[in-house]
Amino acid sequence: MTHTRNLLALVAASLVATASMAMQPAEYSAAKDRITADYKVNKQKCDALKANAKDICMKEAKGHEKVAKAELEAEYKPSDSTQYKARVAKADADYDVAKERCDDQTGNAKDVCKKDAKAAHVSAVENAKVAKAQAQPANTAAEKGAAVSAARKDAAAEKREADYKAAKERCDAMSGDAKSKCVDDAKRMYAQ
């Protein structure tokens, strides 16, 4: 009897602790206001910059805001979906900044930069998909294993494709036999 009472007391205490740790609507609203205020401050800092440096700064400010909002939502309404959205928001923000940084380059170097940025974005998004599959509940361990395995397989294929495109873009700076060898090596490496 004492053991049962202790167990019930422990469960009740953990429920109270969990409820007190959950973000309240007022806290959520205040956090959203802080994110908006931070964005405005970061955006103002960009005003002193010129040309592409200003564009990069603006992408960083907007990216920080989007990521912060997505992470706040994941904290306020914890779920596999909100966690996934936060990961994708981070990937998207990083991609936007990386693409903007590529504008400082020209020719093939710019093209390679953009393909590398895209490959990194694809990798981050695919990793988010795998993490979401791992977090999903399943009826059996076999079902969960199959879902995670399928997500990993799809992710690997998408990553290989993006990496192949980036490697192939590097080959475009070459000509003749060197270019042909480079493309063949890229195909072999990424199993195209």
Per-residue pLDDT tens digits for 88-102: 999 999 999 999 999
- Write down the pTM of the prediction: 0.79
d(CA 42, CA 123): 28
Single out the residue of 82, 78, 58 nearest to residue 70, CA to CA: 82
Per-residue pLDDT tens digits for 45-88: 999 999 999 999 999 999 999 999 999 999 999 999 999 999 99
Instruction: For 31-45, give the DSSP string.
Output: HHHHHHHHHHHHHHH
Directed axis angle between helix 51-76 and helix 25-46, to 10°? 170
User: Looking only at Cα atoms, what is the longest distance across the chain?
Assistant: 85
Give the three-state DSSP class for 138.
coil
Per-residue pLDDT tens digits for 130-184: 999 888 887 788 887 888 888 899 898 899 999 999 999 999 889 999 999 999 9
CA dihedral 135, 140, 141, 143 (to 10 degrees): -80
Residue where the block lists tokens 């997500």: 151
Q: Are 164 and 157 in contact (CB under 8 A)?
A: no
Which tokens belong to 47? 């005003």
